[in-house]
Amino acid sequence: GAAMGSTGIGDHGGAPLIVEPSAWSQLEQAEDGPAEGRVFLVGAAGTGRIAGAARVDAADDPRGWSEALEEVGSMVPVGLTCLGACYFGTTEANAASELDVVARCVPKTLDEFYVLFKREGPVGAEARRLDPQTRRFSDAPLKVRVADDEVESETGYLRIQLEQDLDLVYDEKSRRGEALDRALEAAAETIEHGDFEFLRRPRGGQGQPRFFSSSLSDLPGDDAAGTLADPVLLELYARSGGAGERSAPILRYEPTSDTGFESESVSLQLDVLASVPRGARFDEGSRAAVLARLLSQLKRSKGEILARPSERVFRYLHFHPPPLGHTVTLLYPDASPEAEDAMASRRRGLHALLLLPLDRPLLRISNALSFGGPGRFPGKLLSVHESLGGSGVEGGRRSMVSGPYCYFHYMQDRFDDAGWGCAYRSLQTIVSWFVLNDYTRASVPGHREIQETLVGLGDKPSTFVGSKQWIGAIEISFILDSLLGVSSKVLTFNSGEEIPTRAREIARHFETQGTPVMIGGGVLAYTLLGIDYNDQTGECAFLILDPHYTEDEDLGKIGAGAWCGWKRLGDQAAAGGGPFFQRP
């Protein structure tokens, strides 16, 4: 994990060690979690700033630590590296022995290494800085400060892709690993000893590609170039050889009668993301760091390819799960939804390693960054409630939908369902939540598919397909269970006046599940997105998304017409009942 644009370790003197808020949250989760494994710290060399953390099993010897640091370093962007280790609740008595372990185990290839002792809050935390070359720590401990916000504005991103076709020929199943070793070694030889330049293709694919050796800040045109959402894409270009004697390749074909041989081709798509200071030049050191990461991806792909012999395409994908302040890069097979479901145990292990919560999917294939590609719901509005003001409830506590959703309403997609399709649209909004929050790779069903599903389940007669008949809470529960495997709990309200009596249950749903809720049914169905509730006075307001809107996707019109807004007791929109869907 060489740092791009770094000038060395720098002299921080008595400057505090800065921990970004997302990294501090990870450390708090690690402190409350299981004690197994060593917690390592990630950041950019020379900055004295910690951007993330990871928990890895590591033997307390130089080899164990080198392997652990390599594992963590291979996941983060080029430009970040392992900068330290964190110890929790360390007393003065055993701090010396832990510092001795660090000094003995840290590889000398690093320029700097920090040891963070985390006690009660940042005030009780302190750090020591190690020079790996001399194995000596700073004389005085460093203070630890949690940053006010994340640092992003001065950071840019480069993306480098390289596809490798690995041809495997072997005579026994037990020798497939040896064939893979040979193919990986040949690919590594090409990268390691090739004479490469890096070409930058203009944004939008217009114009001729050019060699890239400047900084992101020197690029002409759009200032957004090189953002995480739209990184600058570089391609490896192999320069021609010298002026030596040229010769044509010779192919020799020798047929064999041995039928025990097997052959296969595996496509491996290497994909490196580099985090760089926008003013740093893409120099020889930067290019070497990228090539080293490509070689690392080749090396680390062996285990995953061998573990999944039926898969023929593997890709490195980039993720930026919300709790993390940096991206992570992971290898996945180009798998079907069923095959991906079988990888749940691996994803749980990655969640534990990266100190991610286990209550939501963050590392599914559908979670991967798309880098400027079209959204999953082009032309539709997402999370329209985010621009709303207060509810008017004094001293209330808000419990809201957790995660994005798409606003589905009457007359969308040139389909006239005015007067009968509100519950269908509420269902589509709910399904979009499960899609956008990566609980499923299924598509949002249309009206006809909803009707056909209910007929197939035996809930409706065949004449229901193509009709304009309403559906309600029970039908929506059937659909979600059938299409997504989602269970629900149905709360029934005979009138709007009953709703405050269930306010605690509603708030609890949003705090623990966070899914949208359909209330009502038939011709008056709505989507409930949250509640603002004062448990002392009983005053409450409900955040309602109204599917009866019939105009274009105009956030101003939606807000002005209260098609998404806070509703009080007695409002027609707050009457009814519905299914409270559970996360899978």
What CATH number is associated with residue 71?
Answer: 3.40.140.10
Spatial separation of the C-alpha atoms in residues 182 and 167, rounded to whole Å: 9
Q: How far apart are CA 435 and CA 418, in angstroms?
A: 25
Distance CA(354)–CA(332), nearest Å, equals: 17
147: CB partners within 8 A, 6+ apart: 18, 19, 20, 21, 49
- Rounded mean pLDDT, 78-86: 93
Amino acid 31: pLDDT:
86
- Closest Cα partner for 531 from 567, 498, 562? 567
Backbone angles phi, psi at 480, to 5 degrees: -65, -35
Q: What is the DSSP string of 318-335?
A: EE--TT-SS-EEEEEE--
Same domain, 208 and 109: no
Note the pLDDT tens digit of each residue in 49-76: 999 999 999 899 999 999 999 999 999 9
Of the pLDDT bands very low, low, confident and very high (cuts 50, 70, 90), residue 521 is low
In terms of domains, do 392 and 286 share one? no
223: confidence class by pLDDT, cuts 50, 70, 90? very low
Q: Report the alpha-carbon distance of residue 54 to residue 443 in Å, rounded.
A: 34
Distance from C-alpha of 87 to C-alpha of 37, rounded to nearest angstrom: 11
What's residue 242's pLDDT? 47
pLDDT tens readout for residues 250-298: 666 666 666 677 888 999 999 999 998 888 888 888 899 999 999 999 9
348 domain-assigned: no
Judged against a pLDDT cut of 50, whether residue 192 lies above it is answered with yes
Of the candidates 139, 129, 133, 86, the one whose C-alpha atom is nearest the C-alpha of residue 111 is 133
* Whether residue 162 sits in one domain with residue 91: no
Cα 119 from Cα 115, distance rounded (Å) = 13
Strand order in the sheet with 210-211: 210-211, 196-200, 232-238, 155-170, 262-277, 313-319, 328-333
| Mean pLDDT across 358-366 | 85
Q: Which of 146, 163, 181 finishes a domain?
A: 146
Instruction: State the pLDDT confidence band at 127, using cuts at 50, 70 and 90.
Output: very high
> How would residue 78 be classed by pLDDT, with cut points 50, 70 and 90?
very high
Please tell me the predicted confidence (pLDDT) of residue 578. Answer: 62
Percent of the chain with pLDDT over 90: 46
Catalytic residue (one of 105, 540, 548, 564): 548
| Pairing mode, strands 524-533 and 517-521 | antiparallel
**Catalytic residue among 82, 406, 422, 564, which?**
422
User: In the numeric block, which tokens belong to residue 440?
Assistant: 């499923």
CA 503 vs CA 350, 454, 510, 517, 539: distances in Å: 37, 31, 11, 14, 9
- More confident of the two residues 382 and 253: 382
Residue 204: CB atoms within 10 Å: 7
Looking at per-residue confidence, does 143 or 154 come out higher? 143
Residue 173 falls within a domain, yes or no?
yes
* Cβ atoms 558, 552 nearer than 8 A: no
Q: Looking at the domain assignment, is residue 376 inside a domain?
A: no
33 and 123 share a domain?
A: yes
In-domain check, residue 193? yes
181 catalytic per annotation? no
Q: What are phi and psi of 544, to 5 degrees?
A: -110, 130
Domain final residue pick, 146, 167, 195: 146
Largest CA distance in the chain: 91
Q: For residues 213 and 241, which has the higher predicted lDDT (pLDDT)?
A: 213
Phi, psi of 74 (to 5 degrees): -70, -20
| Residues 426 and 308 occupy one common structural domain | no
Interacting residues of 311 by C-beta distance below 8 A, sequence separation 6+: 305, 333, 334, 335, 339
In this prediction, what percent of the chain has a pLDDT beyond 70?
84
Residue 161's DSSP bridge partners are 235, 271
Residue 522 has pLDDT above 70, yes or no: no
Identify whether 149 is a catalytic site residue: no
**Chain centroid offset of residue 546 CA:** 30
Look at residue 292 in the predicted model and tell me its pLDDT: 94
Number of domains in the chain: 3
Q: What band does 581 get if pLDDT is binned at 50, 70 and 90?
A: low
Mean pLDDT over residues 421-425, rounded?
94
Average pLDDT (310-316) is: 92
Last residue of one domain, picked from the residues 146, 176, 208: 146
Residue 92 shares a structural domain with residue 162: no
Give the pLDDT confidence score for residue 378 in this predicted structure.
80
- With a cut of 90, say whether residue 464 has pLDDT above it: yes
* Residue 549, φ and ψ in degrees, nearest 5: -65, 135
Q: Which segment of 113-117, 334-338, 531-535 scores lowest on mean pLDDT? A: 334-338
> What predicted TM-score, i.e. pTM, was given to this entire model?
0.71
List the single range of 86-90, 152-156, 183-187, 363-367 with lowest mean pLDDT. Answer: 152-156
Burial of 221 (0-12, 13-18, 19+ CB in 10 A): exposed
Question: Does pLDDT of 185 surpass 70?
Answer: yes
Q: What is the mean pLDDT of residues 332-350?
A: 83
Residue 349 lies inside a defined structural domain of this protein: no
Tell me: do 57 and 205 sit in the same domain. Answer: no
On whether both 113 and 131 belong to a single domain, the answer is: yes
* Contact by Cβ (8 Å): 58, 37: yes
Pair 129, 163 in one domain: no
Catalytic residue among 111, 271, 532, 546: 546
pLDDT digits (tens, 9 = 90+) for 225-263: 688 878 888 888 876 554 445 556 666 666 666 667 788
Task: Judge whether 7 lies within some domain.
Answer: no
Task: State mean pLDDT over 399-416.
Answer: 92
How many other C-beta atoms can be found within 10 angstroms of the C-beta atom of residue 128? 22
| Higher-pLDDT residue of 149, 72 | 72
CB 425 within 8 A of CB 450: no
- Residue 1 pLDDT more than 70? no
Asked if residues 405 and 506 have their Cβ atoms less than 8 Å apart, the reply is: no
Domain containing 389 — which CATH number? 3.90.70.130
pLDDT at residue 335, rounded to an integer: 72
Are 52 and 326 a contacting pair, CB within 8 Å? yes
Return the pLDDT at 256: 61
pLDDT value at residue 11: 39
- Shared domain for 159 and 297, answered yes or no, is yes
Average of per-residue pLDDT across 352-379: 82
Helix pair 447-456, 473-484: axis angle to 10 deg: 90
Q: What is the residue range of 199's domain?
A: 155-239+263-339+363-367
The answer to whether residue 447 is catalytic is no
Average pLDDT, integer, range 101-116: 93
| Residues 141 and 159 reside in one and the same domain | no
Same domain, 470 and 520: yes
Which one has a higher pLDDT value, 202 or 426? Answer: 426
Mean pLDDT computed over every residue of the chain: 84
Domain assignment of residue 282, yes or no: yes
Residue at 561 is within a domain: yes
In contact, 111 and 73? CB cutoff 8 Å: no
